[in-house]
Structure 1
């Protein structure tokens, strides 16, 4: 795993240099995001875990909230979420 992680880190470095030389603003933004979070991105290669379940739950909450066109009673909303998704 460590060899694969190192290889990916080196490849990202080369790609980052190419992006800087190209001068394309949108790619520079992506390159900055990757540079800022690379340790978390590479952490995937340590234990093969992602935050996909949290993202899925967040999407379900947003869909649930949209059905009610906003939340007025937060306590009741949290109670309903607990009953539906617990």
Structure 2
């Protein structure tokens, strides 16, 4: 989290992430294996944050609201009405 909180450049963030990765590898904690694998696979996307300091948090939040709305009504039969309700509630 410290990497994201400090105002750093992409290169500094990349270096700090590499140091963190090395520390986790050297720690011997097997519990971190899944997160290390996730970060290894997605490090470019993660580091894109440092290009213009923006995230897709708003889109993810909206998707969660849509899923909750769908779950509340146990599925959607009438797509037109569903979109109408979405527009009225979240627009």
Q: Normalization by structure 2: what TM-score?
A: 0.73
Measured in 2, the distance between the counterparts of 1:79 and 1:28 equals: 44
For structure 2, the 5+ residue unaligned runs are: 1-7
Q: CA deviation at 1:84?
A: 3.1
Question: Unpaired segments of 5 or more residues in structure 1?
Answer: none
- With normalisation by structure 1, the TM-score equals 0.77
Could you say which residue in structure 1 is the equivalent of 2:75? Answer: 71
Q: Report the count of equivalent residues.
A: 83
Match in the other structure for 2:3: none
Cα deviation 1:46-81 (Å, max 9, x = unaligned): 11211011111012112212321x114052433432
Counterpart-to-counterpart distance in 2, 1:13 and 1:74? 50
Provide the alpha-carbon RMSD of the alignment.
1.9
Secondary structure (helix, strand or coil) at the match of 2:9 reads helix
